[in-house]
Amino acid sequence: MSAELWVAISFLIFVGVFVWSGAPKMIVKGLDARSSRIAKELEEATRLRVEAEKLLREFEAKRAGAEAEAQAIIQDAQDEAARMKAEAEAKLKEFVARRTVQAEQKIAQAETQATAEVRASAADAAIKVAETIMRGATGKASADGLIAEGIAEVKSRLN
């Protein structure tokens, strides 16, 4: 008996003991368990991926909503600023117009007052001149009467 024969017999005995002890069933059972565990992990990963995609879509929708709201707030602020600017310009124009009218009224009043003062001064000067002329041309008694008449006439014409 040769050595190769003994190796072959030993190998067959080893394989027989291996099969008789149920090792192939345990190997298949272990591989099946590992396969089912991997399948469960893949299902879990798929579920988590779907959930993550759903959350991503929700956050993108929220972000888009927040951006739209921010744009609306910016637009409202710009509109409010434009409205306030227009109001301020209108109030400034109104203020300037009111001040202009007041200044024109003061100028007109000053002109009227100056005209009245010039007329009064002219009337006083005319009265004095008339008085001087009349005193020289007429007697004292008739001059006083004429002066009084002239003063009354000048006053009535000025007023």
For 122-136, the pLDDT digits (tens) are 777 777 777 777 666
With 90 as the cut, is the pLDDT of residue 86 above it?
A: yes
Tell me how far apart the alpha carbons of residues 131 and 137 are, in angstroms, rounded to a whole number: 10
What pTM value is reported for the model? 0.43
With 70 as the cut, is the pLDDT of residue 141 above it?
A: no
Read off the pLDDT band of 78 (50, 70, 90).
very high
Read off the pLDDT band of 2 (50, 70, 90).
confident
| The total number of structural domains that make up the chain | 1
Read off the pLDDT band of 140 (50, 70, 90).
low
| Mean pLDDT, residues 89-108 taken together | 94
Write out the residue range of the structural domain in which residue 42 sits.
3-158
| Mean pLDDT, residues 111-116 taken together | 89
Tell me how far apart the alpha carbons of residues 118 and 112 are, in angstroms, rounded to a whole number: 10
